[in-house]
Amino acid sequence: MGALFDKLNNDVRFVEGINGCINCGTCTAICPAAEVYDYEPRSIVNMVQTRDDSIIEGLLKSDTIWYCGECMSCKTRCPRNNAPGLVVQALRGLSIEKGYFIESEKGRQQLSLKRMLGNSILETGYCVHFDHTELSMFPELGPVWQWVRDNREKVLAKVGANYKGDGPGAMRNIAKENLDELEKIFEVTGGIDWFDKIENNSAKKAEEMNLDIGEKTSKSSTYFRHVYTYNTPNKHNRK
């Protein structure tokens, strides 16, 4: 048993997620991510079950652990009551903690999530805020979203939102004291530390790739744009 396995074993998600795998493959059969990606939850559980640190390190540096959509369908069918999705969550956490996520293309995309969703939660209280989403980053939405934005007050009033208002309702302003409280929760639960690890390790990788990491809020730096937009052709999909 190695140090990485010990770390995993201290994560409640890992302890809850694996009771002993018989390698039956039922989780892979039900897994929607396995239909699309070069991905098998059965193999992941099988690999961590070896308790071999070199195998686990390989997983932590791989694209594999980032394909799971966390739907937990695997949990519903496993004859041993395992939850490969929870095992994946523990692996992702350890990958970020050790800085291994920057070694894979999908892992490096953590910077996009941190800057687009993580920053938004702390700044606005919303994971995705109507006003903070850069439309140029979602060209697949076409002109509709721009129209909705141009007519936001009318549209939001129609659906009963309380846009930027006080009191209850969707899209209301979140008070400063609540945002401070939210930040405190992120601090004590290790979320801020995670964000720092994502930024600091991404900065190292950006330097190695000769790209600009930009400010911690930047969505236009060359490194951010690269990890946000680039996928090596034919690398990730099921063959």
Residue 227: both structure tokens together: 């990890």
72 binding ligand SF4? (CB under 6 A)? yes
CA distances from 109 to 29, 100, 125 (A): 27, 13, 22
Question: Concatenated DSSP letters for 138-180?
Answer: -GGGTTHHHHHHHTHHHHHHHTT--TT-SSSSTTPPPPHHHHH
Choice between 21 and 96, CB closer to ligand SF4: 21
59 binding ligand SF4? (CB under 6 A)? no
Would you report the helix, strand and coil content of the chain in percent, each value rounded to 5? 60, 0, 40
Choice between 23 and 146, CB closer to ligand SF4: 23
Q: Which of 10, 36, 50, 69 binds ligand SF4 (CB under 6 A)?
A: 69
Question: For residues 220 and 143, is the Cβ–Cβ distance under 8 A?
Answer: no
From residue 87 to residue 126, what is the string marking binding to ligand SF4 with x (rule CB under 6 A)?
Answer: -x--------------------------------------
Please report the sign of the dihedral spanned by the C-alpha atoms of residue 219, residue 220, residue 224, residue 230.
Answer: positive
42 binding ligand SF4? (CB under 6 A)? yes
Choice between 23 and 229, CB closer to ligand SF4: 23
8 binding ligand SF4? (CB under 6 A)? no
- How far out from the chain centre does Cα 160 lie? 31
CA distances from 167 to 110, 120, 162, 173, 176 (A): 34, 20, 8, 8, 13
Hey, which residues between 218 and 237 contact ligand SF4 (CB under 6 A)?
Answer: none
CB of 21 to ligand SF4, least distance (A): 3
78 binding ligand SF4? (CB under 6 A)? yes
181 binding ligand SF4? (CB under 6 A)? no
Return the range that interacts with ligand SF4 (CB under 6 A); candidates 22-30, 143-151, 182-190, 193-201.
22-30
Size of the site for ligand SF4 (CB under 6 A): 28
Write out the H or E segment, with its range, that includes residue 51: none
**By the criterion CB under 6 A, which residues form the site for ligand SF4?**
21-27, 30-33, 41-42, 45, 68-74, 78-80, 82, 84-85, 88
